[in-house]
Amino acid sequence: MQTLDIISVNLWQMLASLANLVLLFLIVKKFLYQPVKKMLETRQNTIDADYAAAASAKEQAQAEQKAYEAKLADAKAEADRVIRSAADIATEREQEIVAAAKTKADGIVRQAQEEAALERRKAEEGIRKEIVEVSSALAEKLLEREVSADDHRRLIDTFIDEIGDGYDAD
């Protein structure tokens, strides 16, 4: 019968084990479960706060990015305005330079025309002097042959007219 004592159920021992289990459960719940639960809640709150801070930082970063993009767009617009202004100024300066060059060229052409006219008059004067000298020489030779004064004048006038008509045609 000894073998039966080992397998038998002892009610007092079961009640003591059950009481120990309940007591251990209450102690664990009081001293271990509650602090762990509080620590997990605190940790969850910290994580939630970190997520909220990250979301806030992300929103702030997006707002700053939009502000940066707006400033960049303003800077590009200002740069475009400055470039257009510089191009307009360059165009105006180009027109002024072209106008000044045209005025100077017109003055040079006018001066050249005046000089050409003056040279032409000088050439005409020189030709007339030569004609007079040639006429005088011709007159002397004709006078040697005994030409009358009227013949002499008529010959000189005819000669001058012919030379003058020939020069005006050029």
Measured in whole angstroms, how far is the alpha carbon of residue 27 from the centre of its chain? 81
Per the confidence metrics, is the pTM higher than 0.85? no
Do the beta carbons of residue 131 and residue 159 sit within 8 Å?
A: yes
More confident residue, 45 or 164: 45
What are the sequence ranges of the domains in the chain?
35-169
Residue 127 clears pLDDT 50, i.e. is over it: yes
Q: Residue 1 — pLDDT band, cuts 50, 70, 90?
A: very low
Angle at which helix 34-144 crosses helix 149-169, to 10 degrees, equals: 160
- The one-letter amino acid code at 144 reads E
Torsion, CA 52, CA 56, CA 57, CA 59, rounded to 10:
140
Stretch (H or E) spanning 122: helix 34-144
Among candidate residues 163, 14, 4, the one with its CA nearest the CA of residue 155: 163
pLDDT above 70 covers a percentage of the chain that reads: 86
